[in-house]
Amino acid sequence: MMRVTDIAAAAAIAHKNNALLIVDNTFLTPYFQRPFEYGADIILHSATKYLGGHNDALAGLLVVKNDDLAEKLRFIAKTTGGCLSPFDAFLIIRGIKTLAVRMERQQETALKIARWLLKQSAVKKAYYPGLTEHPDYEVSRRQTSGFGGMISFSVRDGRTAVRILESVKIIKYAESLGGVESLITYPSLQTHADIPESERTARGIDDCLLRLSVGLESPDDLIADLEQSFG
């Protein structure tokens, strides 16, 4: 639903209770958000997404600011064998070299698409933290330097959602996110299928909801593709 957690507030609660705060920074990456500055203790990334950025490698990483914790985590990774192959490590490092330009462009296009979605009669709601009407716009402004390239939106009914998924041509109907190709997913069937239906719908993740990861294609082409898929 593209809600944004206030990291400083979450860190205060964690630390008051003698716990560590772990922040998943996959969507924004260190380019747009640095959770250590707001009190996080561990940052995790699915490097499969924006860091790699090309939908061609699976990787993850943990970032800590304390040597003892780093040593403990390194020991677990080494002894359980969850280490990256040299070639995948190369792909992630190569991806990171263009992270800044990709994030800027993906964010710019995402804002254009979000604003366009708001004007469509088939769209009930568009969720993007960079829209001033987003409930967490102010929290985002405070703790991030950008809003990223992920959007979700609700269409008038489930049939419309399915028609869009079946009709998009440039945008691919596939899971994952953060790569150069725009991908659209159906959370109720894919990413969130393991959540009981009643809980899912209570949170707005119903069969009208679609999630879009905006890639590097021309914004005009992406909007035209969505437009023709709306029928």
What does the binding site for ligand PLP look like in residue numbers (CB under 6 A)? 24, 26-27, 46, 48-49, 58, 60, 177
Residue 160 vs 185, nearer CB to ligand PLP = 185
Token pair belonging to 213: 């990861």
Residues in the chain: 231
Token pair belonging to 49: 């997404």
Token pair belonging to 221: 């082409």
Say which residue the tokens 């998924």 belong to: 165
Residue 156 vs 203, nearer CB to ligand PLP = 203
Residue 177 vs 216, nearer CB to ligand PLP = 177
Question: What is the C-alpha to C-alpha distance for residues 177 and 144, in angstroms, rounded to an integer?
Answer: 20
Coil, helix or strand at residue 105: helix
Residue closest to ligand PLP (Cβ): 46
In whole angstroms, the minimum distance from the beta carbon of 84 to ligand PLP comes to 11
In whole angstroms, the minimum distance from the beta carbon of 151 to ligand PLP comes to 14
Say which residue the tokens 């997404």 belong to: 49
Instruction: Please answer whether residues 60 and 47 qualify as being in contact, where contact means their C-beta atoms are separated by less than 8 angstroms.
Output: yes
Token pair belonging to 39: 């009190």
The residue type at 29: T
Instruction: Please answer whether residues 63 and 46 qualify as being in contact, where contact means their C-beta atoms are separated by less than 8 angstroms.
Output: no
Residue 160 vs 213, nearer CB to ligand PLP = 213
Residue 60 vs 204, nearer CB to ligand PLP = 60
In whole angstroms, the minimum distance from the beta carbon of 23 to ligand PLP comes to 10
Closest CA to 214 of 145, 116, 140: 116
In whole angstroms, the minimum distance from the beta carbon of 193 to ligand PLP comes to 15
Residue 24 vs 138, nearer CB to ligand PLP = 24
Question: What is the C-alpha to C-alpha distance for residues 55 and 59, in angstroms, rounded to an integer?
Answer: 11
In whole angstroms, the minimum distance from the beta carbon of 177 to ligand PLP comes to 6
Residue 127 φ then ψ, to 5°: -115, 110
In whole angstroms, the minimum distance from the beta carbon of 60 to ligand PLP comes to 5
